Structure 1
């Protein structure tokens, strides 16, 4: 028995050796650098609709009414941090944490900027959430509306603050919010009050950034001042702005904000990926524009958000399978310049019309295939600096097939997304890459080597690939020599075993 075990052990070592040699060659030669905000992968969640971790604050819950509280809270988010971390998310954006008017589950009906929403939990529980996130090297960004409050806010009823408001019953782009009191951000007292509130939460809760979700129509001077004050309060504090239907990322270049939600690109991507063979040239154009502005301001890219209908709804209306549509869209989102922002429930292809219908409670009944795919592209995004910091060069764009190049220092990647209904083949000139190297697929394992001065990329319908430009495996003499040595040793070993067996039979 001992001899048989020894044989198995040696055989295992021989089989394992080539694989150890093969994987000794890393895909990326770029050294790990200090983390920057563009390296993040963000997950936006509605606290009330995420997970219930503390039943003691469930006083206003009505699970039969989507416009009422559903029970999610700070404790519930803290409980699910590993779930988010395992999917590759490095930053959380959480819906407004402030005290709200009755039924303000979304957080935008603010009535006090210095109190937590008791339905979500206490300041102690919020601080615990932030600490737990930091322990996992995750950052926490709070959705902070600076331009609008609930019409029932005490400021509205104070005659001395009449000039604090543009209107106390104004309309917003989100009809589901109803009438809102719109603050006059040209007023110095209002500016000071909002700045003071922003500083207060940094001190009290230790958050890492704000998402100024209603900043689309905020005065540039206010944003510049607010940004300056927040960054003095905490170094490397992140400020993400919200663009609207009538605004673009470009107009925020001098705002002092670090990044802006790219609503224009999001609308295009919903149309581009809702079905196969959709026009994609406009998406390429918008991504290219955002890439050129990246030094001034970072584009935050998304497919849907708290303010839109679900992307899943678009796919279902086209009679398409949502999981595949999400895989195509997210691959694009994770690999173009900018920072991806994924709305909660995308990992289960949550459906819904704009408003409360799209703010459903997350069931955590995972679409395992989609979750695993998100994990895979999230891991690649973290390991490959070219995806977060690299240059962007469109190569091919036709009939739903999109190919582009990302380069950073010694790393070159080719991203190909075949959002069509048939197999596609695209030729990339070898002179644009290196005809002494090969393209190795990191998602599906595809391989392309130069032939006749070009690399031929072949992708099945509705699949994507991230290719890394690497040394040719076939030209690796050490690897070939190792395989030959293994073969010789293995055959010698079999001969010796046979010879020993023969000798044993003769002696018996």
Structure 2
């Protein structure tokens, strides 16, 4: 599907100009992002520092991708017409946190990906190619300690920095916000120290590395008014993941985070192209989005694949996936393509949808 993307991206925008000067400052304007096409990658799965095509023996652990690997293959991304990349969270993680979502020490860089200097070089290299860099961030939870309740070495090293353990009742919003997602320690975002530390951390990441935007994980699992200060502290474009299919549930979050991942559109796309639902499902879903209270449809991120959901190609044939991809890229909003879609990867549930891209050889002729 790389050839399809190479055709679609130039139709949307003209992202890379031969005579354009390199970006030297961060974009803080949401409108700037509304004219971008984003390539989402998992840092551990996109590219190794030294290329090889050997498979990963354990998709549930680190496979060897790095910041330098991304630098080495920026032209591969730009060659398809993408002018923004979305990378994995960067803090030091608990054991097995190859994806970046199990932070321990928010002040340290995940050394499995490379050094702080490597990360700075990545952002600089992307900017030199007129590409924005979006950082995935997490403020809801941390990684599970190897010894229960022992937070030694964590940024949040006391039990009072966490909500008491409870299983989530998804019919109770307070439970959604304060109980533990998948057993992960839930940060007490009513605690002043926790709040101020999270705000200063995201501010420091932006100022130190020069990211152009952030993608916020698990937004619905934190009280809404927390996000106003978090977005302000970041000072750059912010999009949030509210993993829910209801427009009435998702849309109010746009009053706190300017952009949202468009899950209310994802589910109709999934139903039509994998479950043989009629096109009426897609039409009604889109009509709901248009009339459902979103403040800016241009800032919704549209997608067919990501790291949390089975790849569409694991459920449908390639012709249907191409149609779904075309729809998601041409509909109103910001298109996002998950790495591997261009190589017709077909992994199902996590972690099978997190394959290493290097086994493809970064083919430029994949259909």
Counterpart secondary structure, 2:211: coil
Counterpart secondary structure, 1:39: coil
- What is residue 253 of structure 2 aligned with on the other side? 252
- What is residue 281 of structure 2 aligned with on the other side? 282
- What is residue 336 of structure 1 aligned with on the other side? 331
Q: Which residue, out of 51, 68, 83, partners 1:90?
A: 83
Instruction: Give the drift of 1:178.
Output: 5.0
Structure 1 residues without counterparts, runs of 5 or longer: 1-26, 56-60, 232-236, 371-508
Contact 1:111 1:153 (8 Å CA) reproduced: no
- The CA deviation string for residues 139-161 of structure 1, in whole angstroms up to 9 with x for no partner, is 10111011010122999536983
- What is residue 307 of structure 2 aligned with on the other side? 306
- What is residue 127 of structure 1 aligned with on the other side? 120
Structure 2 residues without counterparts, runs of 5 or longer: 1-10, 18-28, 171-180
Measure the CA separation in 1 of the matches of 2:150 and 2:114: 26
Contact 1:93 1:141 (8 Å CA) reproduced: yes
Measure the CA separation in 1 of the matches of 2:46 and 2:232: 33
- What is residue 193 of structure 1 aligned with on the other side? 197
Measure the CA separation in 2 of the matches of 1:102 and 1:343: 25
Q: Which residue, out of 42, 63, 67, partners 2:60?
A: 67
Contact 2:66 2:113 (8 Å CA) reproduced: yes
Measure the CA separation in 2 of the matches of 1:337 and 1:356: 30
- The 5 A counterparts of 1:97-246 are 97-152=90-145, 157=151, 161-167=158-164, 179-231=183-235, 237-245=236-244
Q: Residues 160, 206 of structure 1: CA spacing in aligned structure 2 closer, same or farther, 3 A cutoff? A: closer
Contact 1:267 1:303 (8 Å CA) reproduced: no
Q: Over aligned residue pairs, what C-alpha RMSD do you find? A: 3.0
- The CA deviation string for residues 148-207 of structure 1, in whole angstroms up to 9 with x for no partner, is 10122999536983232124586799xxx9521111212222111110110110111111
Measure the CA separation in 2 of the matches of 1:314 and 1:291: 28
Measure the CA separation in 1 of the matches of 2:218 and 2:238: 13
- What is residue 3 of structure 2 aligned with on the other side? none
Structure ranking higher on relative contact order (CA contacts 8 Å, 6+ apart): 2
Contact 1:239 1:258 (8 Å CA) reproduced: yes
Counterpart secondary structure, 2:86: strand
Larger proportion of strand = 1
Instruction: Give the drift of 1:80.
Output: 0.8
Instruction: Give the drift of 1:271.
Output: 2.0
- The 5 A counterparts of 1:345-384 are 345-362=340-357, 363-365=359-361, 366=363, 368=365, 370=367
Q: Residues 202, 172 of structure 1: CA spacing in aligned structure 2 closer, same or farther, 3 A cutoff? A: farther
- What is residue 392 of structure 1 aligned with on the other side? none
- The CA deviation string for residues 425-474 of structure 1, in whole angstroms up to 9 with x for no partner, is xxxxxxxxxxxxxxxxxxxxxxxxxxxxxxxxxxxxxxxxxxxxxxxxxx
Matched pairs, number:
319
Instruction: Give the drift of 1:327.
Output: 1.8
Counterpart secondary structure, 1:287: helix
- The 5 A counterparts of 1:355-504 are 355-362=350-357, 363-365=359-361, 366=363, 368=365, 370=367
Q: Residues 186, 246 of structure 1: CA spacing in aligned structure 2 closer, same or farther, 3 A cutoff? A: farther
